[in-house]
């Protein structure tokens, strides 16, 4: 469903992604791990379509379509979702209004009838329960005054409502205490399905205790240096990233 | 008995001597009145013909679903008064006082001992105002619904209006001044409101300037606040080709507080100027001021917020902010907070920003499926709306939101966004 080939991207002329290859099949969960500054968020942002990143080479195809040619909202309609590492606060824009606009824009795009207010509220309440999000948060401004953990929970709640076919979770685990992590991971697990693929960007292998990945990749210096199964994450936890770099340098 | 005719002449002479303000004066640096003169000529001074408006015309312009005592002015003359007033509230038209009660008329026009009010355009208003509303509220009376003043400007000419709001001790009122227009003829509205708040009085004051795009608007609100009184003002500038609002509040006795919130949204070639001044003349007064501007097209906005902390005003607590959003690179804003402090022990903060929509927020909304245009509208709306959240009556806020939104490119979708 997602095929990234030889992706190079720069910001302000600075090369950050230096040839990423990544293929994800429907239903798969891929973990991307790597040191700070290695380009994980950049990759996430480029997939979601953020301005300011110049793709200098390579391609991304999603369900056979050229993702890089699409606007961020078109990507959302096509089923891409990004849970942000740092979700922004948008005072004055109501959480539920945002989601309703998003869901209905997508439904229009797919030729489906829009949900009316009643149907939508029903959907929203059900999904809020899934991530144990207090109903009071629904009517607040987007992330307005939310704690770090609440913001992350809100991201997963949005994912649940928008039902993407590809979800990128950019360090959704960081800043969560162990109880919150369990809830968020539980929510993500409930959203796993044979049609939905997930990219989990994380520093810590502890998230992988809760959400079992199919593949683990190491991203360092703008490249995927190594891919493996779940045991790779455990090894990274024990040995750090340098040995991967060295191994790659000698390959 | 004051001789009204003589006083009028005196005011006119004072005006002739002072002349119209020019851009050489600091207070008028960014706003030239020359355009009014060149467009209107003699009509600057000539009262507009009385307009004939029927109920349907009025309803079409009025804020819907607003339960209020409604008073309607057309071209500067009272055409509909309010009835069924409660005890303690009087609403007298200035036109009646001018012929029937010189004493009160003189107070409404504030001739006495108030030389500064003779300056510039204010003197012209004193000389020319033919009508207005003098609201008197007896001590302790609290109104349970607003007084709604709808002003309709039509077929050219000038409307010089003088309103007075006198609130007795511990009384409470909500007054809405709404300036609307019906046609495309250029004309002038020149409206001055004088406010006196007795000790412990509360006034909620909403001012919406939403006149037709060729009109000129000069507005003024002077408030003097007694001990522990409270003024909550919302001033919104949407209409007119050129508009200027001078808002001056004197926190004249201990414990007085004011909240001044404002929004201006000039588009096209509109010029919209808000000058505010808060005088902390007494100790332990609180002022809060938040003004926001949304500027599109080739519009020009001006905000000047002066806060003066006078000697002896211990325990002053003042905060002011002004933020501007430029939707077009041809739009322009001159924004200046001005803090003048003559006393030590004060808490005062002010800040002023000019910017564009936040890229991070835009991207966030789009990743959730909002179109670029919709996301821009939504953020613009949220930016503007934040100064209206404290408005007291939902029908008024709703109306202002809709009118404001209709000025944005996707205005037609306003209803959907407002939910
Ligand atoms: N908008 C930007 N402007 C300038 N540099 C950036 C920007 N975004 C990322 N970078 C740089 O790109 C590199 C990769 O950053 P990022 O993708 O955030 O890494 P990670 O998420 O793996 O920690 C870092 O050196 C960072 O400073
Ligand atoms: Mg990152």
**DSSP states of A222-241:** TEEEEEE-HHHHHHHHHH-S
Spans of all domains in chain B:
4-356
Give residue-wise pLDDT tens across range B164-198: 999 999 999 999 999 999 877 889 999 999 999 99
Name the token pair of B326: 């430029």
Question: What is the torsional sign of CA A169, A171, A173, A175?
Answer: negative
C-beta of residue B136 within 8 angstroms of C-beta of residue B166: yes
Candidates A76, A87, A92, A160, partner chain B, best to mutate (most B CBs within 10 A) = A92
Name the token pair of B25: 């004066």
Query: Which residues, 6+ apart, have CB-to-CB distance to B182 below 8 Å?
Result: B51, B53, B57, B61, B152, B153, B154, B212
User: Could you report the predicted ipTM of this complex, rounded to two decimals?
Assistant: 0.96
**How, if at all, do strands B242-251 and B89-93 pair?**
unpaired
pLDDT, residue B32, reads 92
* Cβ-defined contact of B367 to A90 (cutoff 8 Å): no
pLDDT, residue B138, reads 97
Instruction: Residue window 341-360, chain B: list those with CB within 8 Å of chain A.
Output: 358-360
- List, in order of start, the domains of chain A with CATH numbers: 2-250 (3.40.50.300)
- pLDDT < 50 positions in chain B: 419
How would residue A196 be classed by pLDDT, with cut points 50, 70 and 90?
Answer: very high
What pTM did the predictor assign? 0.90
In terms of phi and psi (left: phi > 0; alpha: psi -120 to 50; beta: otherwise), the region of A97 is: alpha
Name the token pair of B75: 């071209």
Q: Is A36's C-beta closer than 6 angstroms to any atom of ligand 1?
A: yes
Round to whole Å and give the CA distance between B403 and B62: 12
C-beta of residue A159 within 8 angstroms of C-beta of residue A139: no
Give residue-wise pLDDT tens across range B88-135: 999 999 999 999 888 888 888 876 555 555 567 888 899 999 999 999
Is B386 at the interface with chain A, CB within 8 A? yes
Q: Which residues of A152-181 are buried (b: 16+ CB within 10 A; e: fewer)?
A: bbbbbbbbbbbbbbbbbbbbbbbebeeebb
Q: Is A42's C-beta closer than 6 angstroms to any atom of ligand 1?
A: yes
Candidates B263, B358, B362, B364, partner chain A, best to mutate (most A CBs within 10 A) = B364
Distances (CA, A) of B85 to A87, A184, B92, B133, B198: 53, 59, 12, 14, 21
Query: Which residues, 6+ apart, have CB-to-CB distance to A39 below 8 Å?
Result: A16, A17, A219, A221, A222
Residue of A nearest to B383 (CA): A92
Provide the H-helix boundaries in B70-145.
Answer: 94-100, 102-109, 120-128
- Give helix then strand counts, H and E, for chain B: 10, 19
pLDDT, residue B117, reads 56
Is B268 at the interface with chain A, CB within 8 A? no
The average confidence (pLDDT) of chain A is 93
Query: How many other C-beta atoms lie within 10 A of the C-beta of residue B317?
Result: 15
C-beta of residue B236 within 8 angstroms of C-beta of residue B262: yes
Q: Tell me which residue has its CA closest to atom 18 in ligand 1.
A: A41
């Amino acid at each position: 469903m997602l095929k990234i080939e030889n992706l190079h991207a720069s910001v302000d002329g600075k090369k950050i992604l230096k040839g990423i290859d990544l293929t994800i099949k429907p239903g798969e969960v891929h973990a991307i791990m790597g040191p700070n500054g290695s380009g994980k968020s950049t990759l996430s942002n480029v997939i979601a379509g953020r301005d300011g990143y110049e793709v200098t080479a390579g391609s991304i195809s999603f369900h056979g379509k050229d993702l890089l040619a699409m606007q961020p909202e078109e990507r959302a309609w096509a089923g891409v979702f990004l849970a942000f590492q740092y979700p922004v606060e948008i005072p004055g824009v109501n959480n539920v209004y945002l989601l309703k606009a998003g869901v209905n824009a997508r439904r229009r795009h797919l030729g489906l009838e829009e949900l009316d207010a009643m149907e939508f509220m029903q959907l929203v309440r059900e999904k809020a329960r899934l991530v144990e999000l207090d109903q009071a948060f629904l009517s607040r401004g987007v992330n307005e005054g939310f704690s770090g953990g609440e913001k992350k929970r809100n991201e997963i709640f949005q994912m649940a409502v928008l039902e993407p076919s590809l979800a990128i979770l950019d360090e959704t685990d960081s800043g969560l205490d162990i109880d919150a992590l369990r809830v968020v991971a539980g929510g993500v697990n409930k959203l796993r399905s044979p049609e939905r693929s997930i990219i989990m960007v994380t520093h810590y292998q502890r998230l992988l205790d809760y959400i079992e990945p199919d593949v683990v990749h190491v991203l360092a210096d703008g490249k995927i240096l190594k891919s493996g199964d779940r045991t790779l994450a455990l090894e990274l936890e024990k040995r750090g990233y340098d040995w991967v770099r060295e191994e790659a340098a000698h390959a | 008995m004051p001789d009204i005719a003589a006083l009028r002449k005196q005011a006119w002479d004072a005006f002739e001597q002072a002349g119209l303000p020019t851009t050489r004066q600091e207070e008028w640096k960014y706003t030239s009145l020359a355009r009014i003169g060149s467009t209107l000529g003699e009509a600057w001074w000539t009262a507009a013909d009385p307009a004939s408006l029927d109920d349907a015309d009025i309803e079409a312009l009025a804020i819907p679903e607003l339960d209020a005592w409604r008073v309607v002015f057309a071209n500067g003359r009272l055409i509909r008064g309010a009835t069924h007033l409660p005890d303690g509230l009087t609403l007298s038209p200035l036109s009646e006082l001018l012929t029937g009660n010189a004493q009160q008329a003189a107070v409404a026009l504030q001739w006495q001992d108030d030389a500064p009010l003779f300056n510039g355009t204010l003197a012209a208003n004193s000389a020319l105002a033919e009508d207005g509303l003098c609201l008197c509220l007896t001590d302790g009376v609290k109104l349970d619904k607003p007084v709604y003043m709808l002003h309709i400007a039509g077929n050219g000419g000038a409307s010089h209006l003088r309103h007075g709001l006198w609130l007795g001790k511990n009384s409470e009122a909500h007054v809405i001044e709404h300036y609307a227009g019906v046609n495309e003829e250029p004309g002038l509205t020149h409206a001055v409101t004088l406010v006196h708040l007795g000790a412990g009085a509360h006034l909620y004051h909403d001012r919406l300037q939403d006149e037709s795009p060729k009109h000129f608007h000069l507005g003024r609100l002077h408030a003097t606040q007694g001990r522990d009184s409270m003024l909550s003002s919302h001033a919104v500038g949407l209409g007119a080709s050129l508009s200027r609002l001078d808002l001056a509040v004197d926190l004249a006795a201990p414990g007085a507080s004011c909240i001044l919130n404002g929004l201006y949204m000039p588009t096209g070639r509109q010029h919209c100027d808000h000058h505010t001044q808060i005088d902390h003349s007494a100790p332990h007064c609180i002022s809060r001021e938040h003004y926001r501007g949304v500027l599109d097209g080739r519009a020009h906005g001006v905000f000047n917020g002066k806060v003066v902390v006078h000697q002896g005003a211990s325990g002053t607590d003042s905060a002011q902010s002004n933020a501007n959003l430029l939707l077009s690179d041809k739009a322009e804003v001159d924004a200046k907070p001005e803090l003048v402090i003559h006393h030590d022990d004060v808490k005062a903060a002010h800040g002023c920003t000019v910017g564009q929509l936040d890229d991070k927020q835009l991207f966030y909304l789009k990743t959730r499926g909002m179109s670029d245009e919709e996301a821009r509208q939504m953020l613009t709306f949220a930016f503007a709306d934040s100064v209206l959240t404290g408005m007291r009556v939902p029908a008024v806020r709703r109306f202002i939101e809709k009118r404001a939104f209709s000025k944005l490119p996707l205005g037609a979708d306003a209803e959907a966004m407002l939910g």
